[in-house]
Each structure stands twice: as C-alpha cells, then as structure tokens.
C-alpha cells in the first residue's frame, strides 16, 4: 500500500471483491433498482418483534448471502469490519456475534459503507488478512426513532428531509491472486470532518455536501487523476438537496465534474416521483451500501462500467448532541472501484 498525498491510499495489490450482497426492505423493493438486490423483505418487521431486532436480521442475512455469493466459508473469514447507526453499533456487533470471526466495529454514520470497505481493503492489501468482510446496515424505523421522531408519531417533515433506507450491504474482500478479475479496489481517500454550522437534522444534504466536496477534491489532488478517469462518481446520500450544493462547491474548486456522470445513491434507490414519501431522497448506512454492493458492482462485473468512485457521506450527530443544540459535523470517505478487466 502506498500513501498518496495526505489523505489517499493506493492499494498496489488491487484487492478483489469476491462477492457481495444487498438486502432491502419493501420500499426499496418498489424502487428502480429492485432487480439489482439479492433479497427483498416484504415486511419491515422481518418476522421480529422489534425494529432493532429486524435490523440485526437484515445485517445477518446480507453477511450470509455475501459469503454464498463469494463462494467463501464462514470459518475462512479473517476479519469482519462493520458498523451502523444504532447506539453502540449493536446491529453490527450482534451480527458479528453470529459470524464468530475477529471483528472491528466502526462508526462513520452513513459513510460507514466506504469506511469499512477502505479498512477491509487495507487489511488485505497489507497482508494482514486473506479474506475480510465489510458491511453496514440501517432500518428506517430504528433510525427515524433515534434521530428524529418515531414513524408512529406521524410528524410532518420539511422538503429537505430524507428517508432512511432499510437495507444492508456486505462485500467479501480477498487477495488478488489473478483467479478473479474483479471488481477490484484501487484507492481510498479518507475524509476530514467538516462542520459549517448546520443544526437541522432534517437537512442532512446541506450539512454533508461540504464534506463530500472536500473529499472529492482531496482524491483528485492526491491521485493527480481527473473526474474523466471515472465513468461514474456517486455520493452516498446527499439526495436532491445536497448534490447540487456539492456540484457548486466543486465548481468553485475548479474540479471539472462535467467530465463524468455525477450522481447520488439517495437519488438512485428511489423513484422520487412515484415514491413521494421519501421527500428529498434516501439516506442511512444502508443507502450507499446496497446501491454499491448491488447496482454498481453488478454493472462493473458486466463491463457496463469500468471505473467508479463511491463517496459515502456521514453526519456525525447523536441524539444528545442535537438536543444540546450542537451543529452537525460531517465526513465523507471515497473508494475507487474498477471492473478489473484489461480494458480498465
């Protein structure tokens, strides 16, 4: 592994994603990416008595499907790197209890999908493991209850509000011995915490956009690449409010984003016209996870995409910090993926 600049790792062995999975709830199954998901639950309860237990089941299902899709036995895993939005990241910790492998719990809010993938790739690339599982999850009813208001409360939300994705995404990262062409992980840019003073938990796109722009700028500065290097650059969950702000901030930095397609996972996962209850778009740890490990990786495997930069964004607030009137610090982590074929 090489360090490029001040924030980017280059994975010289090009760790390969041997298999991945994306498991979602019923609302996500009604969206435009439904055919890219491995499993769609028809109930938010998922056979459990509480939302929190349902989220754990969601995570456990995704981790098991990722192992199956990768053709890997559970006992062959060296590490599990994961996190979620629940207090003390209990969804990932309890899923780790069932996996029974060495576990590194991480918290980056909605940026956890790429934070965990970056760390799993680093462990594999540096020879610390042969196989590592990276994953995260979120559930609409657990997150809305914890950070805003319970769904049963029926509170009216402003136009800037986003809808927490019920979903879990996992990936198995392994050493690249040449037997599997890809997709491969080539770079990771670790973001800085940015805080521009936003205090409204119903305006996450506005809060997170500066962090996304800062990490994207750092990625191109450190790697000396340009946006045109990628077929797609996708943010985690800026949705309809934050993505235009990020575009404006990047234009001010002189980053020519018009060279590529620039989109957002929170906009891709739902149909904002038909699914009006999502308001500004999707959010949550599961948002960028299921879009990346379902939709994007499948397109990379088919050769429809050659290079993609996924920039997962996270708002690092807690119920306590919000209730005490604190502003919302945010972070974004970027991971570069390639199809792995000669044409890449």
Rg (CA), the chain: 18
Check residue 317 and give its pLDDT. Answer: 92
Distance, in Å, from the CA atom of 200 to the CA atom of 134, rounded to the nearest integer, reads 30
pLDDT, position 342? 46
pLDDT value at position 156? 84
Residue-level pLDDT at 341? 58
Count CB atoms within 10 A of the CB of residue 177: 9
Residue ranges of domains in the chain, CATH in brackets:
2-174 (3.40.47.40), 184-338 (3.40.47.40)
Lookup: tokens for 112: 């956890």
What local confidence, expressed as pLDDT, does residue 255 receive? Answer: 97
What's residue 155's pLDDT?
Answer: 77
Per-residue pLDDT of the chain (344 residues; tens, 9 = 90+): 999 999 999 999 999 999 999 999 999 999 999 999 999 999 999 999 999 999 999 999 999 999 999 999 999 999 999 999 999 999 999 999 999 999 999 999 999 999 999 999 999 999 999 999 999 999 999 988 877 777 777 778 899 999 999 999 999 999 999 888 889 999 999 999 999 999 998 999 999 999 999 999 999 999 999 999 999 999 999 999 999 999 999 999 999 999 999 999 999 999 999 999 999 999 999 999 999 999 999 999 999 999 999 999 999 998 889 889 999 999 999 999 999 754 44
**Pairing assessment for the beta strands 261-264 and 232-235 based on DSSP bridges:** parallel
Q: What pLDDT does 61 receive?
A: 98
- Enumerate the β-bridge partners of residue 20: 171
Region of residue 8 (left: phi > 0; alpha: psi -120 to 50; beta: else): beta
Which residue from 238, 259, 344, 242 is spatially nearest to 299, judged by alpha carbons?
A: 344
Identify whether the C-beta of residue 181 lies closer than 8 Å to the C-beta of residue 303: no
The pair phi, psi for residue 4, each rounded to 5°, is: -105, 125
| Beta-sheet strands, E only, within the chain | 2-4, 8-10, 16-24, 39-40, 79-84, 103-105, 131-138, 163-164, 167-174, 184-189, 232-235, 261-264, 282-283, 307-315, 330-338
């Amino acid at each position: 592994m090489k360090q490029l600049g001040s924030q980017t790792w280059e994975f010289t062995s090009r760790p390969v994603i041997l298999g991945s999975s994306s498991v979602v709830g019923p609302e996500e199954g009604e969206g435009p990416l439904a055919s890219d998901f491995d499993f769609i639950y028809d109930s938010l309860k998922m056979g459990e008595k509480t939302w929190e237990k349902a989220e754990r089941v969601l995570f456990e299902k995704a981790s098991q499907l990722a192992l199956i899709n990768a053709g890997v036995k559970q006992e062959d895993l060296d590490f599990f790197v994961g996190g979620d939005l629940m207090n003390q990241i209990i969804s990932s910790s309890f899923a780790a209890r069932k996996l029974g492998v060495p576990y590194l719990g991480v918290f980056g809010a909605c940026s956890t999908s790429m934070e965990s993938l970056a760390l799993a790739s680093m462990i594999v690339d540096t020879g610390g493991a042969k196989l590592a599982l990276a994953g995260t999850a979120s559930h609409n009813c657990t997150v809305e209850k914890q950070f805003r208001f319970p769904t049963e409360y029926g509170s009216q939300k402003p136009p800037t509000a986003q809808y927490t994705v019920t979903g879990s995404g996992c990936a198995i990262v392994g050493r690249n011995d040449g037997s599997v062409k890809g997709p491969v992980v080539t770079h990771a840019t670790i973001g800085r915490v940015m805080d521009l003073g936003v205090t409204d938990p119903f305006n996450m796109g506005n809060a997170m956009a500066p962090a996304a722009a800062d990490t994207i700028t750092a990625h191109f500065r450190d790697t000396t690449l340009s946006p045109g290097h990628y077929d797609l650059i996708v943010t985690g969950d800026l949705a309809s409010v934050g993505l235009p702000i990020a575009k404006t901030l990047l234009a001010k930095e002189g980053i020519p984003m018009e060279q590529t397609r620039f989109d957002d996972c929170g906009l891709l996962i739902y149909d904002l016209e038909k699914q009006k209850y999502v308001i500004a778009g999707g959010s949550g740890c599961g948002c960028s996870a299921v879009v990346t490990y379902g939709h994007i990786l499948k397109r990379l495997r088919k050769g429809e995409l050659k290079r993609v930069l996924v920039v997962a964004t996270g708002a690092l607030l807690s119920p306590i910090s919000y209730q005490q009137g604190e502003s919302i610090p945010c972070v974004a982590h970027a991971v570069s993926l390639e199809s792995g074929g000669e044409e890449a």
